[in-house]
């Protein structure tokens, strides 16, 4: 009997080790597939236009400095574009996460009429494409004399149904109502309860959504292209599109890849700074207690 139990335990241990090896191999393969395209991007940023026309190369070229010099000394204000993109993305990310967390807190912590309707209505807003409301949006900002400014790209970010939904799910799993009631009994006001108790508990979820909101705003092309007209106010996606649409005599694919690499580097930095919150935040936010 004991021998059969020991044999069974050994088989289970071997099975666990085998599954773990398979899992690691799959994760390594997926990681390579994800990182491969970044590798191709940075490799192409070191090659000349003529080399890129000849096809793919696995090894970097020697034109990194030349591509960067041509891009930096070109007609496009890339540093202005970098600042514009960072400013808009940072402000939109901060506003959307804070006010979406506040909205989720209101739905989570208070009981009032039409509570379920408000929750459903906010989620219904996610079904409306940006392109559908673009004409009315442009007419509105034109009447408000906000055309060619950053305000129409930052203020509407306050209303983010996707961030709200994630925050609401996270609160359902991690924020007990008894904790809020205890703070009220102790005499804490609603804003103090939210800012000093709820927000610190929501840090993992806020960090996750800050990354997603930052990347979404950073990569957005459609709305900024409609709103911004002055070259010094344009964001990096618009400048990349202008660089790609240059006259064929001036077109340089090496500069295009250098521009894309230049635009993606800040996003990688933001991800590295906040990535430690992603696993915990996604796990807790996806499981309802």
193 near 184, Cβ under 8 Å?
yes
pTM: 0.81
Residue closest to 162 by CA, chosen among 93, 254, 74: 93
pLDDT number for residue 62: 83
Q: Flag the least confident range among 143-157, 211-225, 262-276.
A: 262-276
- Mean pLDDT for 6-11 is 60
Phi then psi for residue 83, to 5 deg, are -65, -45
pLDDT number for residue 96: 92
**Two tokens, residue 277:** 């919150």
Q: How many C-alpha atoms does 287 have within 13 Å on its Cβ side? A: 8
> CATH 1.10.3720.10 region(s) of the chain?
74-286
Percentage of residues of the chain with pLDDT beyond 90 = 10
Mean of pLDDT over the chain: 82
**Two tokens, residue 95:** 């506003």
CATH number of 74-286, picked from 3.30.1310.10, 1.10.3720.10, 2.130.10.10, 3.90.180.10: 1.10.3720.10
> Radius of gyration over alpha carbons of the chain, in Å?
25
- C-alpha angle 214/75/82, rounded to 5°? 15
**Two tokens, residue 15:** 């099975």
Tell me how far apart the alpha carbons of residues 57 and 15 are, in angstroms, rounded to a whole number.
41
**Two tokens, residue 167:** 């925050």
């Amino acid at each position: 009997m004991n021998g059969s139990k020991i044999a069974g335990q050994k088989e289970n241990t071997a099975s666990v080790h085998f599954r773990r090896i398979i899992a690691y191999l799959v994760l390594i393969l997926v990681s390579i597939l994800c990182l491969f395209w970044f590798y191709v991007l940075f490799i192409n940023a070191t090659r000349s236009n003529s080399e890129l026309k000849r096809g793919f190369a696995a090894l970097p070229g020697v034109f990194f400095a030349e591509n960067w010099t041509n891009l930096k000394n070109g007609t496009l204000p890339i540093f202005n574009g970098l600042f514009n993109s960072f400013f808009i993305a940072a402000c939109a990310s901060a506003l959307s996460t804070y006010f979406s967390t506040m909205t989720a807190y209101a739905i989570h912590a208070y009981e009032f009429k039409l509570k379920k309707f408000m929750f459903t209505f906010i989620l219904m807003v996610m079904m409306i494409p940006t392109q559908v409301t673009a004409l009315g949006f442009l007419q509105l900002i034109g009447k408000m004399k906000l055309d060619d400014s950053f305000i129409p790209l930052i203020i509407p970010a306050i209303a983010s149904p996707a961030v709200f939904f994630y925050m609401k799910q996270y609160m359902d799993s991690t924020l007990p109502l008894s904790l809020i009631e205890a703070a009220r009994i102790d005499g804490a006001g609603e804003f103090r309860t939210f800012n000093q108790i709820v927000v610190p508990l929501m840090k993992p979820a806020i960090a996750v959504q800050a990354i997603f909101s930052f990347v979404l705003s950073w990569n957005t092309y459609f709305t900024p292209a409609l709103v911004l007209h002055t070259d010094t106010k344009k964001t990096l996606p618009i400048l990349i599109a202008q660089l790609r649409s240059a006259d064929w005599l001036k077109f340089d694919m090496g500069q295009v890849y250098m521009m894309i690499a230049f635009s993606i580097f800040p996003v990688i930095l933001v991800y590295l700074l906040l990535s430690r919150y992603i696993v915990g935040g996604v796990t807790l936010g996806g499981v309802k207690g």
